C-alpha cells in the first residue's frame, strides 16, 4: 500500500482540513505532516522521535506537530474502517505505534518527554 494513497483518502474525507485547523496549520502542511507520520512509523520510527521527524518533513514546528498528532489517530481509524486489507495493515501498524504507551494519553505523555 502506498502512503500517498492513504493521505489522499484521508484528505478527501475532509477530516484532514479539520485537523489542520485545530493544529493551526494549513491543508498542505497537514498533508505533509500526515505523510510524515505514516512514513515515520512504517519505516520503524519510534514515538520518541516522531515530532522532530514530522516537523522536518512538513516544514512546521514541533509544537504544531504535537497539536496535530492527537488528531491523527481518529482520522486513521476512520479511514481504515472503509479501507482494504493493505491499507488496514499499514494503518494498524501506525495506530499501534501511536498508542503503545496507553492510547492518546500515552501519545501525549510520549511527546512531552
pTM: 0.77
Residues 6+ apart with CB under 8 A from 48: 110, 113
**Which pLDDT belongs to residue 70?**
86
**pLDDT tens digits along 68-94:** 988 887 887 777 777 778 777 777 877
Q: CA–CA distance from 96 to each of 22, 31, 44, 46 (Å)?
A: 23, 21, 12, 11
**pLDDT tens digits along 35-62:** 898 888 888 888 888 899 999 999 999 9
**Nearest residue to 89 via CA among 45, 17, 41, 32:** 41
Amino acid at each position: 500500500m502506498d502512503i500517498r494513497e492513504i493521505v489522499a483518502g484521508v484528505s478527501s474525507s475532509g477530516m484532514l482540513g479539520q485537523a489542520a485547523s485545530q493544529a493551526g496549520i494549513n491543508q498542505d502542511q497537514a498533508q505533509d505532516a500526515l505523510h510524515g507520520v505514516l512514513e515515520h512509523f512504517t519505516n520503524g520510527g519510534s514515538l520518541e522521535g516522531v515530532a522532530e521527524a514530522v516537523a522536518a518533513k512538513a516544514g512546521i514546528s514541533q509544537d504544531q506537530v504535537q497539536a496535530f498528532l492527537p488528531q491523527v489517530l481518529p482520522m486513521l481509524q476512520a479511514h481504515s474502517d472503509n479501507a482494504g486489507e493493505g491499507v488496514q495493515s499499514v494503518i494498524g501498524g501506525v495506530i499501534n505505534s501511536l498508542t503503545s504507551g496507553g492510547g492518546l494519553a500515552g501519545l501525549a505523555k510520549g511527546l512531552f518527554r
